[in-house]
Copies of this chain bind each other. A is one copy, B any other.
Amino acid sequence: MYLVKAGESHGKAMIGILCDVPAGIKVDKSHINALLQERSFALGRSERQVIENDEINLITGIRNGYTLGNNVGFVIENKVHSDYENIMSAFDCDTSSAQVTALRPGHADLPGICRGNFKDARNVLEGASARNTCLNVVGGAVALSMLDMLGIKIGVRVRSLGYEKDESDCDFNQILNAKSPAYSLNQNFIDRCKSLIESAKNSGDTLGGTVEMVISPIKKGFGFYMGEKRVNSVIAQDIMQIQSVKGLYFGENSFEFNGFGSNYHGNINKQDNSLIVSNSLSGGIDGGMTNGDYIKITVALKPIPTTKKGLETIDIKTGEKAISAKERSDITAVFASCSILKCVVATAISKVITERIGCDNMTEIIKRYADL
């Protein structure tokens, strides 16, 4: 299962095609729309998201709520497009207005105009915008439905925003229940985040942070030990495509762990006639494969580079110094990233599962998974 995306943020619509989808996944429209709402109305979003108010238009590959095995194609309208029709249409529009020539630092603007040989960064920023993560949400919703049929769940919670941290420990099953708009189980932390967001908003600034993900146990031996099929490689490749993500790690405190191997690696024990991994800090993946334990991933997100303050730059039209565009913008993508990450990882995990046990229809896949 993998997703192909297309779209510019002020174009007519965003388009996605989810490929390699088994037949017989039960998909629920309200589930998809709810996930889109989670993405749009997370903490720290701007009013722009209210305008977006995305709704799925599911066009192909699903019939009466079940996947057909055919590619799943869908469209999400860009509701702001009506105001941009004259400058952002495929044909016969006016590209001389609304140009972005004061390149925005931290964005794709500068490298993008070099790659495309453009004089207007709008040709870049429209496609480079995180707007297209709405497509990941829809693809991921289908993947989540498939995983659900196999009894696999994914949870996400925010661990830090700027200097605010949630130090509380959580049982993995609790994290599976963290919910939008705050994706946290710690009210005190939520309150601190809200204050910090308010203060960043007032100073025209933005915030980054970290997010923790948990995947409920997958049977042992999915993925592979050599090359591109290592589960951690598959997941990293996909998470790293989310615009704000700067880093990720698997397991506990990978960048902070400073002890010895004997404290890091757990044991293998017997439980109910099955072998289980205990007390390992490695986060559910050993040798590039699922080890039967919960998978744990932590992700770092940078502050959004569009700030109301603006940043010093050059205007390529004049060649002079300028301040980058002061657009309406989110304060942080950290909370919004939770639903996106959940969906991106669900798609990656679905791919890993079908590669091992096949990709025809859910009746067979459920039976084969149970048989392992």
Contacts and interface: CB of A to CB of B under 8 A. Distances in A.
B208 A261 contact: yes
Sorted nearest first, the 3 A-B pairs with minimum C-beta distance are A108-B287, A247-B249, A6-B73
A357 B358 contact: yes
A116 B226 CA distance: 14
A251 B208 CA distance: 14
16 contacts: A6-B59, A7-B70, A15-B74, A64-B90, A64-B92, A64-B94, A70-B127, A105-B277, A108-B288, A111-B220, A247-B249, A247-B298, A255-B255, A269-B314, A270-B319, A356-B359
Contact of A290 (B111, B116, B363): B111
Contacts of A12: 59-60
A245 B288 CA distance: 10
Interface string A21-34: 00110010100000
B287 A124 contact: yes
A240 B288 CA distance: 9
Interface in A201-258: 203, 205-208, 210, 219-228, 230, 232-234, 236-241, 243, 245-251, 254-255, 257-258
Contact of A117 (B62, B91, B363): B363
Interface in A269-317: 269-270, 275, 277, 280-283, 286-292, 298, 300, 302-305, 307, 309, 311-314, 316
A15 B117 CA distance: 29
Interface in A1-31: 4-8, 11-15, 17, 19, 23-24, 27, 29
Given A105-B280, A260-B205, A11 B364 contact: no
Nearest to A164: B258
A261 B303 CA distance: 5
A204 to B, nearest CB: 8
Interface residues of A, number: 155
Contact of A115 (B6, B74, B360): B360
A11 B60 contact: yes
Contacts of A254: 246-247, 300, 302
A371 to B, nearest CB: 8
Contact of A286 (B110, B239, B259, B277): B110
Nearest to A96: B64
A86 B221 CA distance: 28
A286 B324 CA distance: 15
